[in-house]
Every structure is written in C-alpha cells, then in structure tokens.
Amino acid sequence: MKICFFNSTNVWGGGEKWHLDTALACLKDGHEVRLVGNYQSELLARASDLNLKTKAFKLTNLSFLNPFKFLKVFLFLKQQKFDVIILNFSKDLKIAAPSARLAGTARIIYRRGLAIPIKNTSLNRWLFKNCLDDILVNSLATKKSILQNNPKLFPENKIKVIYNGVELEQFKPSSYAVEINSANCVILNLGRCVFQKGQDLLIKIAAILKQRGVNCQVKIGGAGVLLPVLKKQAEELGVSDRVEFMGLVSNSAEFLTNSGGGGIFALTSRWEGFGYVLAEAMACQLPLVAFNVSSNPELISDGENGYLVEAYNLEAFADKLQTLIQNPQLCSALGKRGRQFVEKKFEASKNMQEVLEYIKAPF
C-alpha cells in the first residue's frame, strides 16, 4: 500500500508523535510512506532525520481558500496515487480531503486527537459527508465531541477508537516512585505552555500548598508562548522558589524518571483528547492527580491509580496532592496499580498493531 500522512502543524505534540510513530510502523510493515507537512515543521524535520520521505507545503488555516495552493496539493496527490491518506488538523481536512477525493485516493481517514466539539457549519457538514471515509480517534471523549453539535454529522459506527500506546521498555518505574516523603516530594507536569494545558492553574495550586506549609517542589516541563507569562505569575504569587521551569523536554521518559526525588504527576489541563502523558506517567509508576474533564476518566480510576478532581477546583486539587505527599504508602499503591493498568491497556506494540490492521482493513 501507498500511505500519506498529512499534518501541517509546525509545533510538536501528541498528534505529531502519533503520525511519526505510525508512519514508521507502516514502513516497517512493508508499505510505501510519505509524510506531508509545513515548511520548517518539527514533524518533517524528525521524519527526515529518520530517512522517511517527506513533502513540504506552505499552508495556513486559510490555504483551502487559495486556488493555487489547493491546485498544488491536488496535483501532488494525483501524481502520487496514494491508497490511503490520514489527515490531522481541521485545516488539513479542509484542503487535503477535497484534494484527495478529486485525486482518486481510495480511503480518506481523519485522525482526530482533540476532544473539542466540531462546529456545525455548512462547510463541515459538506466535508464530513462528501470527503471522508473514516474517522480514527484517540479516546471515547474525542469520539463524543465529534457528534456533540450535530449527531448526524458522520456515521457513529465509522468512528473508530484506538488509544495511543506507550513504550513500556522506555517508560519504566521512576526513581520518584521508590521513596516519596514530605521532605523530597516533587510534583511533575509536562506539556506545551499553552492555555489548554493549564500550567497557570498548577502555579496557583503551588501557592495554596505553600500557604498551607506543605513542603514540595513543582517541575514544569515544556515550552510555548505562555512560558514567560507563567514565570512572571510564579514570581507574583511568591512561588519562584518552589516552581522550576525545565524548558523544552525532548525525552519525556527521562523527565519522568530521572529528575530526582519522590514524586506525583499533576495534570491541570483544561481538556485533553487523550492524556498521553498520563499513560506515560503511570508507566513510570507515578500516582496521578488531574481534573475530571475530557478523556481523563478513561485513564484515571479515582482512588485506584490516582485522583480525579472537580474541574478547576484548585483547593480540592491541592487537597489530593497534600494527601499523597503525606502518605508514601498510598503513593506506592496507586503507582503500582497505574503501571498494571498501562501494561494491560496501552502497550505500544499491541495498540500499533490494531492501528495497522485498521489502516489496511479495506485492502
């Protein structure tokens, strides 16, 4: 088979990791693979380093309105004669899905990883009816969000849920999980510094813990447009001595396992399509605390492998962190059950095999 992965974002995130990992798996499975993206995108740079074939276009959110850019994408897809094209963002859907349909691509798949309701616009209704064959999502929450504003937007039985997988050999029980106590506890957070990830809420929680006299350090891994704002917020709230910004993290396994001390993973995201980092943290045997939003309940069983907190209740979030900091045995028990859960449900090779079978299904 000849497979195209179309992802035009410039930033690196969970969706880009999925596209790269899946492209490599398809190549290993004997298929011809091409990654299409934006100039200077991190995805294409990493793909090129791994000797994957790439193609770059200059694309924006409004490129689908530009007939010249639309023609370029169409001619490329027509020339390549792909059997399958897998799209990423809504802007990819708008330009690549109609182009692929006109080019005669046999199967057009929209792989969606955001649990944000799709707008019920005339353009979206046309695209989903005429230009898509299947939708692949990363969680039940993402599947639900697709039809939230219009239950008839797309046939529900053609929306497939396959969770992201975790490389268990890479994400091993953390040194954090060995000894957690109030003298050395580290609260970890990892994600792009953007509004969605809610690091501003975590800094406020750190201030609450400091006011209570709870001894802990917060390490935030990630870069993004809000990083300077977050640093200023930490200074203003008087927690610069407790909150450490680690910057861009290229190796999440290393961050989760080797930053020192006993620890807890805290996810303060306002929404998640699939909290991939939660699964990674569980694989490292770290107890979790997160808001009860989006797909988080699909990963966290409250009181079993972590705690779910009412959305944006910062005092309640601080309560759960304090409980874990002051109860090392509880941390250990939650962490071990989390590791067992990941081994059972998110083992990478099993999940990737399911993805490969899904892509090859009609051929």
CB atoms within 10 A of CB 63: 21
pLDDT tens for 176-191 read 544 555 556 899 999 9
- Nearest-angstrom CA–CA distance, 30 and 40: 28
Q: Residue 164: which H helix or E strand, with range? A: none
What is the pLDDT at residue 115? 86
Whether residue 6 contacts residue 87, with contact meaning beta carbons closer than 8 Å, is answered with: yes
The domains found in the chain, sorted by start residue, are 2-165+347-360 (3.40.50.2000), 175-345 (3.40.50.2000)
pLDDT tens for 299-329 read 999 999 999 999 999 999 999 999 999 998 8
What is the maximal distance between C-alpha atoms in the chain? 65
Asked whether the whole model's pTM tops 0.75, one would answer yes
Whether residue 10 contacts residue 42, with contact meaning beta carbons closer than 8 Å, is answered with: yes
pLDDT tens for 109-123 read 999 988 889 999 999
What is the pLDDT at residue 257? 83
Query: Looking at the DSSP assignment, which residues form a beta bridge with residue 218?
Result: 187, 243
For the record, the structure tokens of 338 come out as 């989390």
pLDDT tens for 35-82 read 999 988 999 999 999 999 999 999 988 999 999 999 999 999 999 999
Q: Give the chain's mean pLDDT.
A: 92
Residue 345, SS3 per DSSP: helix
Helices (H), 82-198: 90-103, 122-130, 140-146
| pLDDT higher than threshold 80 for residue 101 | yes
Distance of CA 310 to the CA centre of its chain: 21
What is the pLDDT at residue 184? 67
Estimate the share of the chain in helix, then strand, then coil, as percent rounded to the nearest 5. Answer: 45, 20, 35
The one-character DSSP state at 249 is -
Share of the chain above pLDDT 70, in %: 95
What is the pLDDT at residue 251? 87
Helices (H), 219-347: 227-236, 252-258, 276-283, 296-299, 314-325, 328-345
CB atoms within 10 A of CB 341: 19
